[in-house]
Amino acid sequence: MIHEHAFCMAQELGRAVHVDEVFHQTHVRKTTGDFVDQRSKKTYEEFESIYSQARSKAASYGGGSQLSPMDPVQEERIRKHSWFTAAGGKNSKGRLYGVGKVSQGYRLGDTLQEPGYGVPNSVKIIQLEEEVHQSREEARKSRRRLAKPGRRMSD
Residue 113 has a pLDDT of 41
Residue 109 has a pLDDT of 45
Q: Band of the pLDDT at 47, cuts 50, 70, 90?
A: very high
Distance CA 60, CA 141 (A): 57
Residue 116 has a pLDDT of 38
pLDDT at 78 over 50: yes
pTM of the model: 0.61
From 9-18, 77-86, 93-102, 117-126, the region with the lowest mean pLDDT = 117-126
